[in-house]
Structure 1
């Protein structure tokens, strides 16, 4: 087993008490939601990677990586090239779980996982060719700050992909898993637009029984 650095990002130490409490509540409900969506979550994770168009030399970030399904799919896209997959999650448990799954990539220095918040990410500006996330934005304590950080670390003229299963999302709301979250997709898209993302759009894919939604958001010119 490779040695792993599980030290949290400095972002967590900068939370005031309000954000810390919000983060604790959101993390607990995030775990509940991940387990509730587990069966269908593989689909939206793998589809996020598919729609990201990841190439072998890309630097890729997943935020809110959970047990690591999306990380694994992204790693399979870059492992024969010069690319690298990065992950960021608030949950120490998910970090430990995903680290075990991704041990090969970590050993090869092609996977790097961090414990921390999207609100203050430990990455340089203009680092990533692709960013993707699934079942994540509902729990952001400050939508504007998170969108600004995602925009900052994304390279110019590249894009971010968000995938959701709106039917399962509605069921999660009805079961109370989103009590401390905001699952309003239109609100999320408006926040991205307000914070400099361009060509923000949503499409529905898949047969009726297995439909999922893909939200794309560009930093700079949209690739034709």
Structure 2
């Protein structure tokens, strides 16, 4: 019961004591993963960049600093109202300037034009999608041909969460996620181990092919 409750809050934090505690955990636990997802995306000043499951906004904040060109744009999607409002407050200046647009919605329903995004990144996110194939297809739809997506995770932590029943089913497995990406039209899907500040993590790369 407790594990299931924690898992639901990790996937979709709400205004609650558990949601508040989960948000504190996300800020601490996801910091290095967010920073490296941004770094590995090789963001250029004029790119249109999308973060999925942006949470409180750590990755958005890091990515926005790289989009210095006149046409650089940052998009974000999260289906937690709590996280959407928290990130909107953090990014309010960039939102007011029209350089950041955040959507509070399900991934499969994100109102983003086809073939419009250069880079996509997310961390500790895909295992909460109700349908990996639908999610992967939605991402592929919005990406430009040749666009790069980067996913970061700490596989040891994910395996532990699955063993504790915080993550249910099999969608947490990287190979299941990578198969969904390939089935949706992504190519060069591969996972690499990385290290930063004495922390080992995994990065999954995929290229959108149209």
Q: Shorter-normalised TM-score: what interval?
A: 0.7 to 0.9
Partner Cα separation in structure 2 for residue 70 and residue 110 of structure 1: 15
Q: Which residue of 147, 160, 168 corresponds with 1:158?
A: 147
Q: Which residue of 195, 198, 203 corresponds with 1:206?
A: 195
Q: Which residue of 69, 72, 75 corresponds with 2:58?
A: 69
Pairing 1:120–2:109 present:
yes
Unaligned runs of 5+ in 1: 1-23
Partner Cα separation in structure 2 for residue 27 and residue 126 of structure 1: 32
Whether contact under 8 Å (1:26, 1:180) holds in the other structure is: no
Q: Which residue of 7, 18, 28 corresponds with 2:9?
A: 28
Local SS of the residue matching 1:77: coil
Moved more, 72-81 or 178-187: 178-187
Residue in 2 that maps onto 1:92: 81
Deviation per CA, 1:130-157, whole angstroms, max 9, x where unpaired? 0111111101111111111100100011
Residue in 1 that maps onto 2:46: 57
- Residue 207 of structure 1 deviates from its aligned partner by 5.6
Whether contact under 8 Å (1:27, 1:91) holds in the other structure is: no
Whether contact under 8 Å (2:27, 2:58) holds in the other structure is: no
- Residue 37 of structure 1 deviates from its aligned partner by 4.3
Report the TM-score, using the length of structure 1 for normalisation: 0.81
Local SS of the residue matching 1:119: helix
Unaligned runs of 5+ in 2: 14-18
Residue in 2 that maps onto 1:39: 28
Total equivalences in the alignment: 198
- Residue 104 of structure 1 deviates from its aligned partner by 1.5
Q: CA RMSD in A?
A: 2.3
